[in-house]
Amino acid sequence: MPKKLFKPPLNIVKEWPEVFEDMYMNTMPVAYLHLVKLEFNNGRIWELRIPDLVKESDSDTVADKLVEMFQEYHDDIKNINFEIDIEKLKKDIAKETKKFL
């Protein structure tokens, strides 16, 4: 079954429109996440600073815990927003692109 595709948030599209403007995604590697903000139906807001979580564990464990949390609170979550480390993403894409050239 294909995963649901989503368009990146506008703040991310504005950071690098030539890449993100027409893009739809179904995943985002934890290595590029800076912050995940969960807004719940009852008004609660959780801000998860991903680099801090990765320091305490590793990216695979953090990714697994995020998926578990999303599944557990699915019915209670009103909105999920995230901030991407655009500079790291640009650097890594440029590095990988140079390998092809």
Q: Hey, where are the domains in the chain?
A: 30-100
What is the reported pTM? Answer: 0.71
Query: Each residue of 5-30: pLDDT tens digit?
Result: 667 777 777 877 887 778 776 677 88
pLDDT value at residue 3: 61
Single-letter residue type at 40: F
Beta bridge partners of 25: 6
Which two tokens mark 40? 């719940």
Distance of alpha carbon 66 from alpha carbon 2, whole angstroms? 20
**What is the tens place of the pLDDT at every residue in 67-81?**
899 899 999 999 888
Spatial CA neighbour of 9 closest among 86, 72, 90: 86
Task: Work out the widest C-alpha separation in the chain, in whole angstroms.
Answer: 51
Say if residues 36 and 80 touch (Cβ distance below 8 Å).
yes
pLDDT digits (tens, 9 = 90+) for 75-99: 999 988 888 888 888 888 888 888 8
